[in-house]
């Protein structure tokens, strides 16, 4: 039997099945221990320091106790702390991105994904470099600056060279005042050598969802193809970091397995990265399995309702306070509104989950990976965020200024974000308003920029930000950043 060891490089030791079962048993035994719950909540709260805030975070066991408790009063307290943490470290900014599907060729047999090899009726499509260019122009015309590229796993059709070519093409397109300044990559687990190539191509975050941490379920859900190898998949982030990628993004596909098991596994993965590499995940995504061509989400027994989903999100926020949290357009406007108050720091907008979807008018597209619940345009998403008090940010400065990995985390912890991320958000929002926004979005946006500028603490920084914002408005000068 494998022994739990967060510092081990072996999947069965850092995502240790027995430790997860013991954690769930511990959580069940203590879920109504009010003194313990209060102590855990107290530990999770942000503490004010001379320069900003610090947070201790929670262990997977502590967070699992909170998740298991079903007292509505405790739940409200968790939500309150989650919002406080989000505001302490990420302020009221929400980073915006869009997925870009490059190819749906796939040799895997994932039971929840319509791109699985045996699906013979879904059209297979792979973008040519000319088509990548056209998609990027369409995305730039919407106002996007940050993409997450997505592809199925197929060594013949989508080899690493193809992905690298696409990244090069994406960065090379400068349409009108547009450009893509950060490309995050969501492709199948690969070798250290390939991760190094991705790093050299200038990617932002490497994202890989675990789908499920339960090995038995994992093997059942991935019956064929290279993704069947649980250990290779689970150890991918260590190889990515060995290949020089500082920022990695975790996630599970909620609905496949029992959510409490997944929650404990996810936090153990984060603790493992912290123990081995000195820095936790840059982001955590919380996707839920969706209806798709050939896929009925009801076929999986572990679907979770919106309230449980919200609580999972909030408990992750308490456990890993410095990690960005992502919610995609898999979720509806209503669910996204709620989750934005519970710790989410990044959302997608105007998304298409089909190959070539940004240059094809009518929906649904036949190559779509799953149903998009939030089908609003980017302009509508930007306006909605502002109407709800969030600053839509198109900032990509950190990674371009070398603030990745632990350097990003120290910025987060230093309390300097109001002097750095805040002006960057306002400057990139101004770019969006000038170049792409509708009249209604412009009106609310400029009001927000004026108001939020006053919140920059350092007078000198405020003055420079104002100057840059004026330059953006009165000229074609773009891409100012702190």
Contact pick of 85, 95, 113, 279 for ligand SAM (by CB under 6 A): 113
Only one of the segments 117-125, 207-215, 344-352, 468-476 lies at the binding site for ligand SAM (rule: CB under 6 A); that segment is 207-215
* Alpha-carbon distances, residue 375 vs 151, 350, 386 (angstroms): 21, 7, 18
Closest by Cα among 450, 461, 478 to 420:
461
Determine, following the binding rule CB under 6 A, whether residue 293 of this chain makes contact with ligand SAM: no
Rank residues 77 and 150 by Cβ distance to ligand SAM and give the closer one: 150
DSSP for 371-405 reads --S----HHHHHHHHHHTT-EEE---HHHHTT--H
- Residue 41's H or E segment, with its range, is helix 34-44
**326 touches ligand SAM (CB under 6 A):** no
Q: What is the Cα–Cα distance from 388 to 93, expressed in whole angstroms?
A: 11
Q: Does 369 bind ligand SAM (CB under 6 A)?
A: yes
169 closest CA partner among 187, 152, 147, 191 = 147
Question: Which residue from 239, 330, 336, 478 is in contact with ligand SAM, where contact means CB under 6 A?
Answer: 330
Q: How far is the CB of 112 from ligand SAM (least distance, A)?
A: 5
Answer for the pair 326, 284: CB distance below 8 angstroms, yes or no: yes
Binding string to ligand SAM for residues 246 to 265, with x set by CB under 6 A, is what?
-------x------------
| Cβ distance to ligand SAM smaller for residue 140 or 210 | 210
Q: Between 46 and 99, whose beta carbon lies closer to ligand SAM?
A: 99
147 binds ligand SAM (CB under 6 A): no
Q: Residues 318, 323, 324, 325: is their CA dihedral positive or negative? A: negative
The DSSP H or E segment spanning 84 is helix 72-90
State the nearest-atom distance from the C-beta of 244 to ligand SAM, in Å: 20
Q: Alpha carbon of 219 to those of 46, 229, 230: distances in Å?
A: 39, 8, 7
The phi, psi pair for 441, rounded to 5°, reads -70, -40
Smaller CB distance to ligand SAM: residue 187 or 327? 187
What residues are paired with 182 via a beta bridge? 146
- Write each residue from 156 to 195 as x if it is in contact with ligand SAM (CB under 6 A), else as -, in one continuous string: ------------------------------xxx-------
Out of 26, 209, 232, 446, the residue judged to bind ligand SAM by CB under 6 A: 209
* Range 433-472, binding ligand SAM (CB under 6 A): none
Rule CB under 6 A: is residue 289 a binding residue for ligand SAM?
yes
Of these, 112, 300, 358, 432, which contacts ligand SAM (CB under 6 A)? 112
Residue 415 falls in which region: left (phi positive, over 0), alpha (psi -120 to 50) or beta: left
Cα distances (angstroms) measured from residue 434 to each of 182, 360, 407, 427, 440: 21, 26, 32, 11, 12
Q: Is residue 198 within the footprint of ligand SAM (CB under 6 A)? A: no
Strand intervals (E) in 289-353: 324-327, 346-348
Comparison of 153 and 238: residue with beta carbon closer to ligand SAM: 153
Only one of the segments 126-134, 145-153, 411-419, 422-430 lies at the binding site for ligand SAM (rule: CB under 6 A); that segment is 145-153
Q: What are phi and psi of 107, to 5 degrees?
A: -100, 0
Please tell me the count of residues contacting ligand SAM according to CB under 6 A. Answer: 21
Distance, in Å, from the CA atom of 482 to the CA atom of 297, rounded to the nearest integer, reads 44
Minimum separation from the CB atom of position 53 to ligand SAM (A): 32
Binding piece for ligand SAM, criterion CB under 6 A, among 205-213, 337-345, 378-386, 460-468: 205-213
Q: Which of 89, 370, 436, 480 binds ligand SAM (CB under 6 A)?
A: 370
- Residues 167, 188: Cα–Cα separation, whole Å: 16
Query: Cα 159–161–167 angle (5° rounding)?
Result: 115
Query: For ligand SAM, which is the closer residue by CB, 53 or 261?
Result: 261
227 lies in the site for ligand SAM, by CB under 6 A: yes
How far apart, in Å, are the Cα atoms of 388 and each of 92, 275, 359, 468, 480? 10, 37, 30, 26, 26
3-state secondary structure of 254: strand
Using the rule CB under 6 A, give the single segment among 24-32, 132-140, 149-157, 408-416 that binds ligand SAM. 149-157
Report, in Å, the least distance between residue 253 CB and ligand SAM: 4
Positions that interact with ligand SAM (CB under 6 A): 112-113, 150, 152-153, 186-188, 208-209, 211, 227, 253, 287, 289-290, 292, 295, 330, 369-370
């Amino acid at each position: 039997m494998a022994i739990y060891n967060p510092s081990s490089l072996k999947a069965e030791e850092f995502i240790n099945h027995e430790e997860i079962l013991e954690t769930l048993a511990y959580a069940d035994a203590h879920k109504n221990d009010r003194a313990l719950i209060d102590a855990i909540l107290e530990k999770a709260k942000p503490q004010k320091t001379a320069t900003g805030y610090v947070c201790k975070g929670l262990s997977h066991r502590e967070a699992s106790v909170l998740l298991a408790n079903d007292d509505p009063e405790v739940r409200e307290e968790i939500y309150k702390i989650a919002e406080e943490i989000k505001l302490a470290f990420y302020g009221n900014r929400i980073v915006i991105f869009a997925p870009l599907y490059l190819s749906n060729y796939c040799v895997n047999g994932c039971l929840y994904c319509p791109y699985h090899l045996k699906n013979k009726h879904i059209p297979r499509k792979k973008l040519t470099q000319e088509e990548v260019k056209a998609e990027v122009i369409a995305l730039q015309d919407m106002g996007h600056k940050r993409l997450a590229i997505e592809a199925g796993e197929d060594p013949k059709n989508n080899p690493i060279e193809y992905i690298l070519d696409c990244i090069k093409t994406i960065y090379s397109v400068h349409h009108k005042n547009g450009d893509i300044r950060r490309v995050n990559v969501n492709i199948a687990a690969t070798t250290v050598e390939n991760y190094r190539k991705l790093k050299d191509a200038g990617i932002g975050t490497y994202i890989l969802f675990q789908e499920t941490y339960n090995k038995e379920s994992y093997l059942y859900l991935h019956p064929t193809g290279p993704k069947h190898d649980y250990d290779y998949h689970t150890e991918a982030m260590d190889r990515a970091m060995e290949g020089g990628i500082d920022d990695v993004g975790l996630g599970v596909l909620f609905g496949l397995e029992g959510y409490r098991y997944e929650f404990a596994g996810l936090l153990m993965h984060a603790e493992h990265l912290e123990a081995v590499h000195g820095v936790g995940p840059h982001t955590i995504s919380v996707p839920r399995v969706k209806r798709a061509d050939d896929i009925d989400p009801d076929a999986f027994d572990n679907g979770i309702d919106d309230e449980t989903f919200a609580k999972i999100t909030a408990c992750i926020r308490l456990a890993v306070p410095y990690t960005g949290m992502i919610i995609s357009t898999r979720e509806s406007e209503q669910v996204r509104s709620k989750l934005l108050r519970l710790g989410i720091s990044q959302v997608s907008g105007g998304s298409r989950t089909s190959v070539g979807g940004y240059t094809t008018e009518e929906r649904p597209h036949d190559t779509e990976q799953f149903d998009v619940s939030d089908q609003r345009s980017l302009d509508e998403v930007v306006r909605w965020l502002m109407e709800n008090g969030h600053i839509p940010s198109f900032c990509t400065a950190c990674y371009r200024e070398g603030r990745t990995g632990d350097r990003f985390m120290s910025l987060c912890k230093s309390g300097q974000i109001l002097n750095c991320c805040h002006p960057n958000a306002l400057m990139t929002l101004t770019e969006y308003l000038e170049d792409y926004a509708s009249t209604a979005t412009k009106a609310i946006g400029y009001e927000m920029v004026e108001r939020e500028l006053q919140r920059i603490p350092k007078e000198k920084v405020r003055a420079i930000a104002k100057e840059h914002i004026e330059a953006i408005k009165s000229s074609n000068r773009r891409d100012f950043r702190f």
